[in-house]
């Protein structure tokens, strides 16, 4: 048991955080990966534990020690990350997608190590990975619609929601609202940071999008981060350069506000 910090404002909440970067296998020894260290996601998990939350941390290829008090699920590929996040999200109040998910994976994965020969190598053909953040938003949108339909039909009385047949309705507690109640994305952008971020938030249907500017030793593998958090209502909150814990606490402040 970890002693919670002074703020217990996430007590009784279950939050899911994804962290790290996925790897997409080419053959048994090679993969397509990215530079994500997992530091920001781990800072989010640690601060959520400190604020009293039950935390599920889905970690993709992170070499950091497990944060005390969090349930850690280790995954490698985007498809494994999707399974783990969607399963944990069923009962989550909030999901924060801090992981860098590979957009593409090789169409075929060789069962044996690809050997070098005198000929030029074959090209590696890629296919798109599922967009997990967009899927979370889509699942919740469908659930909201099912709720609204049932409410309109007058069947929302006590217990009505648990027997509904709408998408995911069976897993929802009555009166609890469609889960996850808060969905947070991260975006690393190199140019047109705010415009790209705004379009991305709308496209993915999330509530908050934390937009990082990548480059100049910011973001990847460094202890510090600077960001702007965009909200679904069109607002923005600037977070000046500082420890990833500080950014994490601002994210949880905004999540707590939305859960209230
Ligand atoms: N994300 C996801 N599934 C993917 C790709 C991204 O869930 N297949 C999530 C990331 O975890 C992050 C957010 O979506 O929270 C934004 O990721 P980003 O790579 O910036 O967005 P993309 O839609 O992939 O756009 P692009 O890479 O083209 O900028
Ligand atoms: Ca991407």
| Residue found by looking up tokens 């905004």 in the block | 254
Q: Using alpha carbons only, give the angle 10, 180, 170 rounded to the nearest 5 degrees.
A: 120
Residue to mutate (ligand 1; options 101, 201, 212, 213; most atoms within 8 A of CB): 101
Which residue would you say has higher pLDDT here, 126 or 193? 126
Supply the residue whose CA is at minimum distance from atom 8 of ligand 1: 131
Indicate whether residue 186 lines ligand 1 (CB < 6 A).
yes
- Peptide bond preceding 158 in cis form (omega within 30 of 0): no
Give the distance (Å) from ligand 2 centre to CA of residue 57.
20
Indicate whether residue 96 lines ligand 1 (CB < 6 A).
no
DSSP letters, 196-243, are HHHHHHHHHT-SEEEEEEPBTTBSTT-SEEEEEEEETTS-EEEEEEEE
Instruction: State the complex-level ipTM.
Output: 0.99
The tens digit of pLDDT for each residue in 16-57 reads 999 999 999 999 999 999 999 999 999 999 999 999 999 999
Give the distance (Å) from ligand 1 centre to CA of residue 73.
20
> Which ligand 1 atom is the nearest neighbour of the CA of 133?
7
- Of 66-70, 155-159, 226-230, where does mean pLDDT reach its minimum? 155-159
Residue to mutate (ligand 1; options 131, 210, 213, 229; most atoms within 8 A of CB): 131
Please provide the average confidence, as pLDDT, over all residues in the chain: 88
């Amino acid at each position: 048991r970890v002693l919670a910090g002074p703020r217990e404002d996430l007590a009784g909440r279950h939050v899911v955080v994804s962290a790290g970067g996925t790897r997409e296998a080419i053959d048994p020894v090679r993969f397509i990966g990215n530079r994500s260290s997992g530091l920001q996601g781990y800072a989010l998990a640690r601060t959520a534990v400190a604020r009293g939350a039950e935390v599920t941390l889905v970690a993709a290829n992170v070499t950091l020690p497990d944060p005390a008090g969090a349930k850690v699920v280790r995954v490698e590929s985007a498809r494994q990350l999707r399974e783990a996040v969607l399963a944990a999200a069923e009962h989550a109040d909030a999901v924060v997608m801090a992981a860098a998910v590979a957009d593409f994976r090789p169409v075929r994965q060789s069962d044996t190590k690809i050997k070098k020969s005198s000929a030029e190598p074959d090209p590696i053909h890629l296919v798109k990975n599922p967009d997990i953040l967009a899927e979370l938003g889509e699942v919740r949108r469908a659930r909201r619609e099912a709720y609204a339909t049932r409410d309109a039909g007058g069947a929302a009385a006590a217990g009505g929601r648990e027997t509904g047949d709408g998408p995911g309705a069976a897993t929802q507690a009555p009166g609890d609202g469609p889960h996850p109640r808060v969905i947070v994305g991260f975006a690393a952008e190199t140019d047109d940071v705010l415009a790209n971020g705004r379009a991305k938030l709308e496209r993915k249907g999330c509530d908050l999008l934390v937009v990082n500017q990548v480059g100049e030793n910011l973001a990847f593998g460094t202890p510090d981060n600077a960001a702007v958090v965009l909200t679904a209502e069109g607002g923005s909150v600037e977070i000046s350069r500082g420890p990833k814990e500080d950014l994490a606490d601002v994210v949880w402040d905004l999540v707590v506000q939305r859960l209230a």
